[in-house]
Structure 1
Amino acid sequence: MQPAQTRLPGAWPGRVLALLCATATLSAMPAMAAMAAEKRMYRCQQGDAITFSEEPCGPDARELDVHYDTPAPAEAADAQRRLQAQEASAAAAADAAEREQRIDGLEREIEDLRVERDHAVEQLAAERQRGTEDRADDTYRERKRAEMKTVIDRYNTRIEAKQIELQQLLQR
Structure 2
Amino acid sequence: MQINKCETPKGLVISDKPCGTDATQIDIKKPTSSGIGMTAEGDWSKVTASNKRRELQRKISGREEAIARLERQRERELRILRSKRRRAANNLAGATWEQSIATEMNAVIEKYNALIEGERAEIAYLRERLRDLDV
Match of 1:144 in 2: 101
More helix by share: 1
Match of 1:119 in 2: 76
Deviation at 1:133, TM superposition (A): 5.7
* Cα distance change, pair 80–113 in 1 and its aligned pair in 2 (3 A): closer
Task: For 1:106 and 1:130, locate their aligned partners in 2 and report how far apart those are by CA, in whole Å.
Answer: 37
Structure 1 unaligned segments of length 5 or more: list them. Answer: 1-23, 32-78
* Cα distance change, pair 119–133 in 1 and its aligned pair in 2 (3 A): farther
Deviation at 1:89, TM superposition (A): 1.5
Matches within 5 A, 1:10-29: 28=16
* Cα distance change, pair 81–142 in 1 and its aligned pair in 2 (3 A): same
Structure 2 unaligned segments of length 5 or more: list them. Answer: 1-13, 18-36, 130-135
Q: For residues 41-71 of structure 1, what are the alpha-carbon distances to aligned partners after superposition, in whole Å with 9 as ceiling and x for unaligned?
A: xxxxxxxxxxxxxxxxxxxxxxxxxxxxxxx
Match of 1:95 in 2: 52
Pick one of 121, 128, 133 that aligns with 1:164.
121
Match of 2:67 in 1: 110
Match of 1:128 in 2: 85
Deviation at 1:81, TM superposition (A): 10
Q: Compare CA radii of gyration and give the structure with the larger one.
A: 1
Aligned length: 97
Q: Which runs of 4+ in 1 moved over 4 A?
A: 79-82, 133-136
Deviation at 1:132, TM superposition (A): 3.5
- Share of identical aligned residues, percent? 26
Matched to 1:90, the amino acid is V
CA RMSD of aligned residues (A): 2.7
Give the structure-2-normalised TM-score.
0.62
* Cα distance change, pair 80–103 in 1 and its aligned pair in 2 (3 A): closer
